[in-house]
Chains A and B, each alone.
Chain A
C-alpha cells in the first residue's frame, strides 16, 4: 500500500470513483426523465438522505470492526416512538433534552447488543437478528397500538427538518440535511484523527494482531455498538421530526438499507476499511436511484426492486473497476511529485 501512495490516498480515490458513478447515474436519468435535473431534485434527495446518512454512519462504525448491526431499524423505530410520546406528554421540552433522550435510549439498546457481542461472544449477525425482532416487539408492546401524530408535536419540532438555512439558486440546504452532514463530518474527523477511533480499524483488519498490540477488543467492539445505537437514536429523532406520524412499522427495513449504503459507499463488509464520507455518498447514490426509478415510466412497480438491486450491484462493480483503473494509472505515472512517506502511511491506515 505504501508504495502506491502518492498524492491521493486510496480512500480519496474511492470517493472520487463514487462521485463519478453518481454523476453518470444522474446524467443517465436526466436523459430518460423529463424535467429531472433541477433544484427540486436536490431538495428531495437531501431531505430524505438526512436520516439514511446517520444510520449508514452508525452501520459503518460497526462494520469496520468486522461486525454488523441488523437492529438499527428497530432501534430507530423505537426511539422515534418513545421520543414522540415523551414530547406529546411534555410539550414544553426543548430540543436539547429531546435529542439527549433519543441518543440515550439508542445507546442503551446499542449497549445490549454490545454486551452480547463483545462479552458473551455471540456472533453479531445472530445477536442483532435477535434484537431486531426483540426491539420491534418491545415497540409493539410499548406503543399499545397507538400512534404518534403530527398534531400532538410541538411546532418547532415539525418545522425543524425543513427549515431552509441557506440556498444556492434553487437548491435549499435544510436543517436536517445540514445537521446530518455535520454529524457525519464529526464522526469522520474522529475516525481519522483520534487514536482511540483507529482501534476500530485495527480490530476489523486483524483482531489477533490488534489484541497482541494491546488493544482491548471487547471494550472497543462494545463501544462501537453503543455509538451505533446512539446514532440510530439520533436518526429516530430525525425520523420523528420529518414524518410526524409514527407507528410500529417506523424504520422497518432500514437495517438493510444502511448496509447497502455502507457497502455501496466502499465500506469493506469484512471490516477494517471504509469511510463514513463514503457511506454518506453511498446513501445518496441509493436514494438517487430509488427516487429516480419511481419517475422512470419504463420500469413497472414489480420490476423496480429488481432494477434497484441490479443498479446497486452495477454501481459497486463500476466503482471497483474505476478504483482499480485509478490505482493502475497512478502506478504508471512517474513519481514526479512525491509526498513524504510518513503522512501517507498514516492516511492510508487511518481511513
Chain B
C-alpha cells in the first residue's frame, strides 16, 4: 500500500500527463508534429500512427497506475 503523499503526487502527475496528452492530439502540436504522411510505419501514414501512439502510451500509463494502485485505492465497499 502506497503512502498517501506518494499517491497524491502520482495522481497529480497522472492528471498532468493526461492534460498534456490531450494537447498532443490538438492544434498546434498535432498539426505541426503529427499531421504528415511521412515517415510511414508498417505502411501506415504517420498521422494515424501518431494518434494510435498516444492511445498506446495512455493505455500503458493507465495500466501502470492500476497495477501500482496509485490512484484512489481506498477501502472497498461491496
Q: Do A and B come from one complex?
A: no
